Amino acid sequence: MQLTKTDLFTFIHKALRSLIYGLGSKLQTADFSSELESKNIVSILRHDLGLLHEHADHEDNIIFPEVKNEEPEMIKVLENEHIEIGEKLNVLNNILDLLQNETESKIRLKLGNELNFLFNDFAASYLNHMNHEESTVLEASQKYLSDEELIAIRTRIQTKIPPERYRIWLDWMLRSANITELIGLLNAMKINAPKPVFDNIISTAEKIIEPSRWELIKEKIGS
């Protein structure tokens, strides 16, 4: 008998947390007096903030509707948090637009400080929101939906993402999980995924996970 059902949140949330921690660290050490470095950090932020936005979109459109009938109030609160996060994202994107074309070093430094401050506020909200989801809708999804339904939802999300974009998500997920989670994930994929897909995941994992951890994982999944 299967003891735990498919978890639609933990892996992806860990990936998003890694992404947020990394961005915060890059942002607070970035040299906005340099035009080149400013442009570089702007493009990294645009890309990564796009992933954070995309994730909320998947939850709003694919996961939440599946639990909404049973838990309308819970989902309403989480949807409102998504709206607040979306507003904070818009403010960040406006600053990125200003920074992108700013040629004066002094103004870039000022915008850089503002960006840091607002990113920290955004990150705090996003981190808090993910914990909130894990203590509410994660449990609700496993309570109301069968494992087949949960897997079907995951597949719908995966098929909505173009393959090259999915590789970016996979990369972040593989980097962000612990060994026990990785062994569970790869073993499940070994059983459920078509062989070429599984082989592709293994070759990605081999490149991303540091060799000492990978050796331990390989032993457990017999790959």
| Contact residues for Fe ion, defined by CB under 5 A | 59
Residue 8 and residue 150 in contact, taking contact as beta carbons nearer than 8 Å: yes
* Nearer of residues 48 and 59 to Fe ion, judged by Cβ: 59
* Nearer of residues 101 and 135 to Fe ion, judged by Cβ: 135
* Nearer of residues 83 and 107 to Fe ion, judged by Cβ: 83
Least distance CB 118 / Fe ion (angstroms)? 19
Least distance CB 112 / Fe ion (angstroms)? 28
Least distance CB 78 / Fe ion (angstroms)? 6
> How far, in Å, CA of 42 to CA of 45, rounded?
5
Least distance CB 59 / Fe ion (angstroms)? 5
> How far, in Å, CA of 51 to CA of 49, rounded?
5
* Nearer of residues 59 and 102 to Fe ion, judged by Cβ: 59
10 Å CB burial of residue 32 (0-12, 13-18, 19+) is buried
C-alpha radius of gyration, the chain, whole number: 19
Q: In this structure, what is the dihedral angle of CA atoms 109, 111, 116, 120, given to the nearest 10 degrees?
A: 170
The closest residue (CB) to Fe ion is 59
Q: How many CA atoms lie within 13 A of 119 on its CB side?
A: 26
> How far, in Å, CA of 37 to CA of 100, rounded?
11
Least distance CB 164 / Fe ion (angstroms)? 24
* Nearer of residues 161 and 208 to Fe ion, judged by Cβ: 161
Q: Is the dihedral of CA 214, 206, 4, 9 positive or negative?
A: positive
* Nearer of residues 34 and 128 to Fe ion, judged by Cβ: 128
Least distance CB 57 / Fe ion (angstroms)? 9
